[in-house]
Amino acid sequence: MKLGDLSVGYLYSLRAALEYLGHDPAPLFQRFAVADELLAKAEARISIPRFMRLGNAAIQLSGQPAIGLWMGRHSHASHLGLPGMAASSAPTLGAAFATLTRFERLTSQNYRGHSAYVPPALRFYSISPYNQYNLFVVDSALSSRATIALQLTGGRARLREVHIEFPEPDYADAYAQFFPCPVLFGQAENQLVWEPSSLELPLIQTALSTHAELVELCIARLERLSRVRRLRDRVADIVSPELHQRLPTLSEVARKLGQPSWTLRRRLLAEDNVRFQEIIDETRRDLALSYIRDTEMALGEVAFLLGFSSPAAFQRAFRRWTGQAPGGYRREFRRSRSEAITKEG
């Protein structure tokens, strides 16, 4: 279990934004091992931690904390791969949103959840707690969806409000340049709230037969992904987004998988030789390692996200998993990585 990954198509807008702002993205992409060959490879993906580090390095390079908004401005439906092309040929804007959220897993996988279309809102899942390393992720997600909606409707789609979970940032004035509507911070959801009539707008590239064909391709690809995933991975996908609220029970997970709890217990032992509680422990451990290695989150934030009763309880668990305190593990990992980069240079 990792934090997740996403299509390299999401990097096209970052590259375009840096170029628009007068910066050469090539050295930055090279530093993060994002070669042209990777960007051209079918179904290529990068990890979410690498995406976040790359985005933050782009902020430092450009001096633009609002880089995510600029990324959104330079987004296109084609950056979202097959789901994006299927959405472009949908009959209405609402149908396009439904297509994008239905097949989002083909372009991104995040243990925190997935986007949702709940008319009149198009929602991007929570990635709280927020810090300087992940604000741009929400900015780019909302800005790109707003930009694509305008592209698909020939500029006719109208936003009513933009809701953002995190408090008003230092660059709050920049949002007025990207959203022609009120932007509200400290909200319960990250979402774009549309005028209901906009959701019925036909798209400038509507082609019903093409849309039907592309949806079939999306379904086939999604089924292919599902077939190769083990049952324990499907259980972890259900467990992980709930950890920061409470620990899910076996019966709750079994219900979501459409089977009795005793069947799930038996299948986990038969297919993967693992028990439900072991999956929870392994999920917490793997996510903890990713957070400590790949983010700047405080230990208290990590403890909260993984459902521990206190930072002290998290530190005890981390010592049990690794034999080290999380702070010492982070320092040692970063020292080793820095030494490896220096040798390569």
Summarize pLDDT for 256-298 with one digit per residue, the tens: 999 999 999 999 999 889 999 999 998 899 889 888 887 778 8
Please report, for the domain that includes residue 313, its CATH number. 1.10.10.60
Residue of higher predicted confidence among 141 and 238: 141
Would you mind telling me the total number of residues written for the chain in this entry?
Answer: 345
Task: Point out the least confidently predicted range of 68-72, 104-108, 183-187, 297-301.
Answer: 297-301
- Clarify whether residues 235 and 184 are in a common domain: no
Q: Which of 193, 223, 253 is the last residue of a domain?
A: 223
Q: Does residue 338 fall inside a structural domain?
A: yes
If asked whether residues 308 and 170 sit together in one domain, one would say no
Task: Give the Cα separation of 66 and 86 in Å (integer).
Answer: 29
Note whether residue 139 is domain-resident. Answer: yes
111 and 206 housed in the same domain: yes
Specify the 3-state DSSP secondary structure of 101. Answer: helix
* Together in a domain, 237 and 124: no
Q: What is the mean pLDDT of the chain?
A: 92
In a domain, 47, yes or no: no
Instruction: Kindly state whether residue 208 falls inside one of the protein's structural domains.
Output: yes
* Judgement on whether residues 109 and 219 belong to the same structural domain of the protein: yes
| Residues 165 and 219 both lie in one domain | yes
Give the model's confidence band at 123: pLDDT under 50 very low, under 70 low, under 90 confident, else very high. Answer: very high
The pLDDT value recorded for residue 248 is 87
Q: How confident is the model at residue 228 (pLDDT cuts 50, 70, 90)?
A: low
Same domain (yes/no): 217, 253: no
pLDDT surpasses 80 at 302: yes
Residue 218 maps to a domain: yes
Q: Against a cut of 0.95, is the pTM above it?
A: no
Assigned token pair, 16:
């375009």
43-47, 65-69, 117-121: which has the minimum mean pLDDT?
Answer: 43-47
Peptide bond between residue 202 and the one before it cis (omega within 30 degrees of 0): no
Question: Could you tell me which residue, 147 or 304, shows the higher pLDDT?
Answer: 147
Scan for tokens 């010492």, then name that residue: 328
Q: What percent of the chain has pLDDT over 70?
A: 97
- Domain match, 80 and 166 both: yes
Q: Closest Cα partner for 149 from 175, 121, 127?
A: 121
pLDDT in tens, 237-251: 888 888 877 888 999
Q: Is residue 58 part of a domain?
A: no
Q: How confident is the model at residue 111 (pLDDT cuts 50, 70, 90)?
A: confident
Contacts of 293 (CB under 8 A, 6+ apart): 49, 330, 333
**Using an 8 Å Cβ cutoff, are 52 and 295 in contact?**
yes
316 pLDDT tier (thresholds 50, 70, 90) = very high
Which residue, 223, 255, 277, sits at the end of a domain? 223
334 lies in some domain:
yes
Predicted pLDDT at 340: 62
Residue 322 domain boundaries: 231-344
Lowest mean pLDDT among 7-21, 220-234, 315-329: 220-234
| Residue 143 in this model has a pLDDT that exceeds 50 | yes
Say if residue 98 is in the same domain as residue 180.
yes
Domain count for the chain, please give it. 2
Q: Is residue 257 part of a domain?
A: yes
Which pLDDT belongs to residue 2? 65
Distance CA 295, CA 286 (A): 14
Q: Is residue 214 located within the same domain as residue 258?
A: no
pLDDT score, position 1: 46
pLDDT in tens, 52-84: 889 999 999 999 999 999 999 999 999 999 999
Which pLDDT belongs to residue 158?
98
Residues 115 and 216 in one domain: yes
338, pLDDT greater than 80:
no
Q: Does one domain contain both 72 and 165?
A: yes
